[in-house]
């Protein structure tokens, strides 16, 4: 029986490794092979063109802006869903996952309809010089919508499993609610917040559908890296698409590496 169980476990592990290899590692390997089988020098040249660099710069800046907002709002939303009971809480909890179910192109259409220059909200914002459509603000807004669940769903389970003894002890010692959150609760939430932030950032690097609808494809203004790659493929410029694609892959790997290092650092000082 024991050898049969070990054999079954070996088969399951082999299947999992094969599946991950075919689904994830093989496409990444194919991109690298395609790069070196064409012209690496041409790929690097295309990567460092002003338009390509501008698209990468815009992608990274808007992703960081989104993460800064998402960390605060996502953590606050998770806190409200766990710590408070109110009518409609379950409905709100279900709506958190709605961005995962909506196609990103539909997301762009919805946001354009709501914030477009012909809408009521768009006209009001236009009076104050705020443009949501075909602007960098619109890119951040689209990214906030499609990545909203990541931080919430990363923080929420930790709060649900949180034991309140340390929190109550800090209150007994005279700590204010802000001090309790900053000194007791936040350190425990830090790894999950970092995980949600990293997932949001990685997701933002490849966002296409909502941005191309809401922000368009204006070089040096609203052209993000994913839209640039699509445009280069449409123009049959494979080297240009490969260069920016490899840069996005590298950023994703660096984010995952940084996340692991930060989580180890957080656990070391807990």
Note whether 28 and 82 are same-domain residues: no
Between 266 and 117, the higher pLDDT residue: 117
Tell me the CATH number at 77: 1.10.3720.10
CA distance 257 to 251: 10
The CB density around residue 210, as the number of other CB atoms within 10 Å, is 27
Note whether 211 and 97 are same-domain residues: yes
pLDDT for res 228: 93
The string of pLDDT tens digits covering residues 80-94 is 999 889 898 999 999
Match 């930060």 to its residue by tokens.
262
Note whether 57 and 112 are same-domain residues: yes
pLDDT mean over 5-29: 75
Sign of CA pseudo-dihedral 72, 187, 98, 206: positive
The string of pLDDT tens digits covering residues 133-145 is 888 999 999 999 9
pLDDT for res 3: 65
pLDDT for res 140: 94
> Phi and psi at residue 230, in whole multiples of 5°?
-60, -40
When divided into structural domains, the chain yields a total of 2
pLDDT for res 61: 95
Least confident of 8-17, 57-66, 104-113, 241-250: 8-17
Confidence of residue 2 (pLDDT cuts 50, 70, 90): low
Residue range of the domain that includes 31: 1-37
CA distance 158 to 128: 41
CA distance 238 to 34: 10
* In contact, 201 and 67? CB cutoff 8 Å: yes
* pLDDT of 215 over the 70 cut: yes
The string of pLDDT tens digits covering residues 220-258 is 999 999 999 999 988 888 888 888 988 888 888 888 888
With a CB cutoff of 8 Å and minimum separation 6, the contacts of 16 are none
C-alpha dist (Å) from residue 73 to 68, 100, 104 = 9, 17, 21
Note whether 114 and 7 are same-domain residues: no
The CB density around residue 133, as the number of other CB atoms within 10 Å, is 23
Which H or E run includes 56?
A: helix 50-83
């Amino acid at each position: 029986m024991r050898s049969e169980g070990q054999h079954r476990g070996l088969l399951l592990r082999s299947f999992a490794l094969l599946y991950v290899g075919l689904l994830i590692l093989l496409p990444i390997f194919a991109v690298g092979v395609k790069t070196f089988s064409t012209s690496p020098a041409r790929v690097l040249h295309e990567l460092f063109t002003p338009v390509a660099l501008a698209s990468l710069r815009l992608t990274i800046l808007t992703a960081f802006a989104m993460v800064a907002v998402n960390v605060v709002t996502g953590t606050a939303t998770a806190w409200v869903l766990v710590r408070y009971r109110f009518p409609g809480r379950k409905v709100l909890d279900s709506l958190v996952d709605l961005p995962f179910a909506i196609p990103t192109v539909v997301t762009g259409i919805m946001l354009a309809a709501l914030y477009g220059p012909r809408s009521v909200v768009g006209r009001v914002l236009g009076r104050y010089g705020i443009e949501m459509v075909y602007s960098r603000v619109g890119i951040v807004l689209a990214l906030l919508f499609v990545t909203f669940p990541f931080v919430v769903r990363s923080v929420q389970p930790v709060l649900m499993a949180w034991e309140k003894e340390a929190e109550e002890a800090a209150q007994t010692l005279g700590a204010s609610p802000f001090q309790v959150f900053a000194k007791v609760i936040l350190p425990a939430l830090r790894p999950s917040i970092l995980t949600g932030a990293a997932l949001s950032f990685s997701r933002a690097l490849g966002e296409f559908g909502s941005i191309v609808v809401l922000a368009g494809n204006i070089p040096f203004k609203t052209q993000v890296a994913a839209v640039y790659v699509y445009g280069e493929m449409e123009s049959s410029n494979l080297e240009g698409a490969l260069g920016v694609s490899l840069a996005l892959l590298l950023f994703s790997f660096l984010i995952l590496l940084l996340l692991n290092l930060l989580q180890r650092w957080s656990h070391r000082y807990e």
